[in-house]
Structures are given as structure tokens and as C-alpha cells.
Amino acid sequence: MKLNRREFLALTGKTAAGAVIFAACGLPERELIVQSPVDLPEDLVRGEDAWYATSMGDFSNGDGVLVRVMQGRAKKIEGNPDHPVNRGKASARYDSVLQLLYHPDRISEPMVRYSKSGNLVAANWDQASTRFKEALSKADGALTIVTNPIRGHLGAVATNFAAQYNGKHMAFDPVEQGVLHGAVKSVLGQDQLPTFDISNAQTVLSFGADWLGTWGSPTQFGVKYGEFREQQDRGYLIHAEPRMSITAAAADLWLAPIPGTEGDLALGIASVIIENGMVSPQNVAAFEAAVPGGVSSYQLAEVASRTGISADRIEKAATHFAEHTPSVAFGGGSAGAHTNGSFNLGAIYALNVLVGAVDAKGGVTSNPGSAFDDVPASATGASFEAWEAELAEWRAGNVETVIIRGADIVHGMPNSVKIREALEHVPNVIAFGAIHDDTMDFADLVLPEQTFLEAWGTEIPEPGPGYQVVGTQQPVVGPTITRDESGLISDARGFGDTLLSMSDGSYGSSMERLVKDALSDLHDTGRGSVSASSSSLFINGTLQRGGWWDISTSGSSNVGKVNVKERNASYSDTGSLGTGDDFHLVPFHSNSLFDGRLAATPWAQQTPDPISSVSWSTWAEINSIQADELGINEGDVLRIRSTSGEIEALAYPHPGVRPGVIGIPMGQGHHKSGRYAEDRGSNVFSILADEKDSETGALAWAATRVRVQRAGRRVKVPKFEGNVVARPVEPGVPVLVVGISETAEEAQEANHHLYQKQFLGEGKESGSDE
């Protein structure tokens, strides 16, 4: 190509060289964007996107989301700004669900096992339906439906289906919340989990529950936490947990009690408040009426000794809680997962009575019941005790058919219950799911299930925002065709639709019809956030907005009594476990994998744990000083034994764990769960001892003691920490911290002086050669 001088000059004006020449003239990049061949997709958005409002299904406690869809493909999941629960915000788990939708190992078609010793073979839906009907034909009075705790119409469909066959619907949650629900009911008289008005509280005192990470409704709580810190008088957070969770890390004061002594700590705090007259006599009287036996045996020195927390820290917590009001106290998670879990949580929730926080601004307020008569507003897993009884029925051959959905019971139950053996005694095991899980290895019929992005439903958030909310769930994408157009990625159907198609039709014909009829009923009430002249307009409006809520509704509390039947925790025994050092096992939810339900997705696997920064594996957190004493280094493979079995995990010592405690994340150790999770890490559920809460029979999943021994191997821990060299704002100070009234400049100056003093040494002068 020949260029004359004029063309050459014209061309240079449109290139990078031209950009340099024009740099002094301003706005050169506009020239580049428009005229140079550097148009990127970022500059030219082609095609239209659509944002559909729906609910997060099984992956949150009722968050409302917007899903970005382009050309029939879901691209992104963000919070729905209209939704009163998460108010437009997200968690680290939202987008991972996209990878379940498009997972390369998604179950593509039904599979049937024709004999217990045979393999699963591919089938079509007609064959699968025939097999399903055969299983149901003998199941009258001998049917159990096992699901995760599901609220909304899907839960109601499962319950009604079971009732039609005189069977039962049992919810399974490996980290069951029965103790929490029981404590809330007995102390506050509420059937649903209450709302914590964190936004308006001056002091938050929480126990065991990692509410900023994984407990309850973390996105809702995260939004409130932002507001809590933003107040004119910045809120003060006190958190009690044996290991440092996300919430403990955010706390102004972290208390690390001996596991199982959280109730003692709560009553010790109450004792300090009462003895020092920090609250009104009326509040004291109400509190003492709620706590049988009062707090006379919870004197400060005694509580300090029992909980392992110094008296001055307990006093400091008590003073803040009582004097910087409004205050709110709540707990859950590991605090309730003990043999005395009901006492622990009861004592914690009773603290609200002491500071007048029940149904008060900045305190704990109740949620109203469901907007629908036939759909409960609350769901929780059956107790471990109930599960043991149920599995005994399976083993005895009294259950003909078990239908399982959203609950990987083989992965989630401790070895001690021998779940595999129980499943082998059930003639018909039918499992629904998107990815092959450990339970499906025992299924006679595997049915590919739609994700919540493909199915209809409703959701009642728990805990709600203090008024009635109905979230809607609608299909945002249709079935996805494979790239070579040979078929669908998954010929999946909805769990609800499949059950309805197998039922007598008395409850409904399809999930879509059920949802629309339910919304139509809401329209007839004439109340709530959506108003429309006709039922169909109301349905469209509700679906567009992601739900319906009525801020005029509210619940009410009725203060009762703390259950004090069992005040002291007991733990599993380690006497017969061979050599090693004894630790108290505190399992915790993974921030990205949760209890393992997102383990199949690479984004969830790769997300660094906030505290350890570890990904793709199972690690064991132990106190760094204790690790030194025991000669344990990072990456040492540890054998962790309990009365229920043994697992291995990589040692990760750090200073944020109570000595004597070993923290292990849930979520790994699947034998089946797609290419990203299969045979990766260890399953901490498997080694939990069969200790139970004395009141509810719930699994005391934090009451296991283990014996720990080095396996003699050391491997590199896959972690993000250290991948990037820290570049501190001041040598040794990577994150600038200021006091309440301090400016950044003052803090930097003080740091600088301190550093100079440390670096040069006291008495030495700047410029010294030493």
C-alpha cells in the first residue's frame, strides 16, 4: 500500500503516535476510541439485556435478586434494590449459582438403577415417570420426602404430596436451627425468627452466629451493619465466638469463650449489669422473671473462670451493652450447637429483656406470620433425634420410598448414624438434583432438577424485615441448548412440577399456576406494595418487582422463660482415640461453599476464605502459639479423630483461635459433586459425635472433642495470603487505623514517629550508621 505525505499525516493523527502529539490539547482518547481500531466490547455494547427479578431459592434466606439475561443466557446475579431484605446488595455466593446453571457436569437426563447392585443408566422422562409411579404405588403410609428446609409454595407442595400418601415431609439441615427456633419461641414467644434492628442499635452483642458471613440472612445483616457503623455515634460491636469468624473480625471487642459456656457468659454479663445498677429495676424484675434461678450463681470471677474470658473483658462488654443503648443481643451457630444449646441461646436472648430491647427501636422485633394460610413463614430441619428415629424405620424396612431433594444426606450426616446402610434398606430412593451428589450413589432413580433460575416459586424470607414479605421466583432462562445443538445442557424439570404431576391434583396443577393463584389471592386482599386494577396486572407488577410486601403488618412478642434444664455442656470423649493432642472441634460454614451446596462451582471453590485466605481445600485453624508449642507448622497434614471417625486437614495456625480449639470449615469432602469438588478436601460432618441438645434433640455439632496428630506430611496450602507482597502505608502498618476522633493525618504522623523510634531505637539519632 502506497501512502503519500498527506495521507501519512492524516493517519498518524488517528493512531497512538498521534495521541502523544495531541496529549497537550486535551481529550485525545476520544479520538482513539472513535477512530482507531481499538474498539473493544467495552466500547460497543451489542444487543439488549434484560434484568429479571427473582428470589435466591436455596442459596440464601430469601434475598431478592436481579438476573441479567442476554440472548437467553443468564450473565450476572445482583441484589434487587427494591427488595426489603437485601436492598440491592449481594453476597459472595450469588454469582456462583450461575455456574450450577451452566455446570459442565450438570445431570442432563433421568437415570434409573434397575437393581440395588446395578449402575445408573440413562432414561427418558417417560421411563422415569413410570419408575416413579411404581415407587409410589407401594408407598402409602411408607413414604418420606426429604428436603432442605424450604419455605414458600415449594415446601407446601412437598408437605401436601407427602400427606396424600400418608407419609411425612422431613427437612434436613446439617447445621440445624431447631435450638434457635426453640429459644426464640420460649424466650420471646415468637414463631418466626425475629428481626434485629442492627441499623439503629448503639451496641450489638452477638454470640456464636457469624451473621456477617453465613448465619441467618447475612446480606440483610451486612446492609444493616453498614448503617450501624455510619451512625453519628458509631455503633459498637461485641462478638463472642471461640474462633475468629468474619463477624468476630469486624467486632470492636472479640470474646472467645470456651465452647459451650456462651450461656454462662451471657448471664455473667447480666450479673455485672444488675449488680452495678446499670438498668432500671423494672427491667431487672422482668429479666429475673424470665431466667429461673436468676444470676446469683454467675458472679464475675466465677464466670471468668468458667468461660476462660478475663473479668475485665466481661465487664467491658457488660458496660457497653447496658450503657450505650439501644442495644440488641442475639446468638446462634456454634453457641446453640451444644448439649446445653437451648440454655445458651435462651440466656442470650433474655439479655434483650434486661436492656428493654424487646420490640424496641434498635432492639429485637418480631416478624408477622405468613401472608398465606397454607404456607408457613418458617422452616427448620428436623432434629437429629427425629432423624435417628426415622433412619431406624428405614433400616427396619418400614419405609418403601424416600424422595430426596436439596439435601445431600450422605454428605451431611455424621458417620455414627450409618446413613448409607439405612438408604440401602429403602426399596425406592428417588433423588432430585442438578449435580450428582453423594446421596445419588444410593438412588434408584435420579431426576435432573431445574435450578431456581429456571423454576417458579415463592419465598418467605426468614428472618424477615419486620413485616410480611412474599418474594417471587420465576424462570429467567429457558432450557439451554448445547453449543453443538445436539440437545439440551439439561433436560431438567422442577421438583414442584414433578410432584404435582404425580399427585391427585388437589393442591394444584403446576408451580406457575400455584404462584399466580397465590398472587391473585394477595391482590384480593387489597393491601401491600403492589396495587393494580386487575389480578393479571397485579401478578405482572409483583413479578417485575420481585415480590410483594406489606409494611403495615407486624408481629408481637410475648416474653417467656429461658430453658434451664441443662446449664452445663458435655462433650464427646477422646479417651479411646489413640495418641495425639485433644482439641475442641468447632466446625464452621465456608463463606463461599456454605455447607457444601455450592462446592460444585469453581467460583465458590476459588474464593479465598476471608480469615485464612485458603481455597480449594480443607484446612484446620489452630492457635499459632499453641501450634508452635506442639511443633505444628502451616501445611502439616493433620489427622483429626473423633468417636465418629477420622479426617485429614491442612494445618493453618493463626492468632484468631482460642487455644485448645480447632476450627474446620464445612463444605468439602464430597465423593461426587462434579469435577471441581469430587474427592477434594475432607468432610467435617462425618466426624461429628452424636451429642444432642438436651431439650430439642438437635445435633450438638460443636460438642465434639477430637484428638489431633500430625500425619508426617506437609503440603503447600493453596492460599492467597503471600501471593502479593504487602505494601504498607507505613512500614509495618498495612492498614491505617484511627481512633474515634483521630484524623488519618494524625494517625499517619503518629505511626511515622513510632516507626522511627522502633527503627532507630530509643536514644539513637537519625542518620546513625547502626
Partner 1 sequence: MTTAEFGTHNWGMVVDIDKCIGCNACVIACQAENNIPINTQDRVERARSISWIRVERYWEGDFPDAKARFIPIMCQHCENAPCEPVCPVYATYHNSEGMNIQVYNRCVGTRYCANGCPYIVRFFNYWEPVWPESLRNHLNPDVTVRSRGIMEKCSFCVHRIRHESRKARSEGHEILDGAVQTACSSACPTSALNFGNFNDPNSKVSKMRGDKRHYTLLDQFGTDPNVIYLAKIDADKKVGAGEAATHG
Nearer to partner 1 among residue 26 and residue 631 (C-beta)? 26
What is the x/- site pattern for partner 1, positions 169-208, by CB under 8 A? ----------------------------------------
Handedness of CA 280, 284, 285, 287 (dihedral sign): positive
Report, in Å, the least distance between residue 577 CB and partner 1: 26
Query: Does 6 participate in binding partner 1 (rule CB under 8 A)?
Result: no
> Pick from 144, 148, 219, 340: which binds partner 1 (CB under 8 A)?
219
Give the H or E element holding residue 537.
helix 535-545
Does the N-terminal peptide bond of residue 665 adopt cis geometry, omega within 30 degrees of 0? no
Q: How far is the CB of 482 from partner 1 (least distance, A)?
A: 7
Cβ closest to partner 1, residue 125 vs residue 755: 755
Q: Considering the complex, what minimum distance in angstroms separates the CB of residue 622 from partner 1?
A: 11
Amino acid letter, 509:
S
**Residue from 277, 424, 758, 761 binding partner 1 (CB under 8 A):** 758
- In the bound state with partner 1, the residue whose beta carbon lies nearer, of 219 and 572, is 219
Q: Collapsing DSSP states into helix, strand and coil, what is residue 249?
A: helix
- Is residue 463 reached through a cis peptide bond, with omega within 30 degrees of 0 on the bond before it? yes
Element (H, E) at 290: helix 281-290
Tell the smallest beta-carbon distance from residue 751 to partner 1 (Å).
Answer: 5
Q: Is 42 in the site for partner 1 (CB under 8 A)?
A: yes
- Give the chain's radius of gyration (CA, Å): 29
Angle formed at CA 305 by CA 303 and CA 306, multiple of 5 degrees: 65
Is 747 a binder of partner 1 (CB under 8 A)? yes
Nearer to partner 1, 505 or 655 (CB): 655
Q: Could you give the angle at the alpha carbon of 414 between the alpha carbons of 412 and 418, nearest 5°? A: 105
Residues with Cβ within 8 Å of 107's Cβ and at least 6 positions away in sequence, in order, are 433, 434, 435, 436, 446, 448, 449, 490, 492
89 is an interface residue for partner 1 by CB under 8 A: yes
How many residues would you count in the chain? 770
Q: What stretch of H or E contains 392?
A: helix 384-395
C-beta atoms surrounding 205 within 10 Å: 30
Letters for 684-723 (x = contact with partner 1 by CB under 8 A, - = none) are --------------------------------x-xxxxxx
Task: Map the footprint of partner 1 across residues 355-384, applying CB under 8 A.
Answer: none
CA distance 667 to 683: 7
Among 31, 109, 191, 252, binds partner 1 (CB under 8 A): 252
The CB-of-94 to partner 1 minimum distance in angstroms stands at 7
Q: Under rule CB under 8 A, which residues in 457-486 are in contact with partner 1? A: 480, 482-483
- Residues 290-329, mask of contacts with partner 1 (x by CB under 8 A): -------------------xx--x----------------
Q: Identify the residue among 418, 742, 761, 764 touching partner 1 (CB under 8 A).
A: 742
Please give the helix or strand (H or E) that residue 230 lies within, else none: helix 218-230
Query: Within 10 A of 444 (CB to CB), how many other CB atoms are there?
Result: 23
User: Interaction with partner 1 in 648-687: which residues (CB under 8 A)?
Assistant: 654-659
By C-alpha distance, which of 91, 52, 231 is closest to 604?
Answer: 91
**21: phi then psi, degrees, rounded to nearest 5:** -60, -40
Find the binder of partner 1 among 52, 196, 207, 225 (CB under 8 A).
225
Binding residue for partner 1 (CB under 8 A) from 83, 106, 641, 670? Answer: 106
590 near partner 1, rule: CB under 8 A: no
Distance in angstroms (rounded) separating the CA atoms of residues 198 and 92: 21
Query: By CB under 8 A, what part of segment 67-86 binds partner 1?
Result: 70-71, 73-79, 86
DSSP 143-202: EEEEES---HHHHHHHHHHHHHTT-EEEE--TT--HHHHHHIIIII--SS--EE-GGG-S
Residue written as grid cell 464475675: 300
Stretch of residues binding partner 1 (CB under 8 A), selected from 359-367, 368-376, 382-390, 620-628: 620-628
560 counts as binding partner 1 under rule CB under 8 A: no
> Binder to partner 1 among 5, 27, 533, 631 (CB under 8 A)?
27
Q: Per-residue DSSP letters for 112-144?
A: EESSTTS-EEE--HHHHHHHHHHHHHT-TT-EE
Q: Based on the shown chain and the rule CB under 8 A, indicate whether residue 505 belongs to the binding site for partner 1.
A: no
- CB nearer to partner 1: pick between 225 and 287: 225
Contact with partner 1 (CB under 8 A) among 280, 746, 761, 764: 746
CA distance 274 to 350: 13
Interface segment toward partner 1; rule CB under 8 A; list 35-43, 348-356, 358-366, 499-507: 35-43
740 touches partner 1 by CB under 8 A:
yes
Q: Point out which span in 212-220, 432-440, 460-468, 642-650 binds partner 1 (CB under 8 A).
A: 212-220
The binder of partner 1 chosen from 611, 662, 687, 699 (CB under 8 A): 611
Part of the chain binding partner 1 (CB under 8 A), chosen from 146-154, 263-271, 418-426, 603-611: 603-611
Which amino acid is present at 316? K
**Which residue lies nearer to partner 1 by CB, 104 or 118?**
104
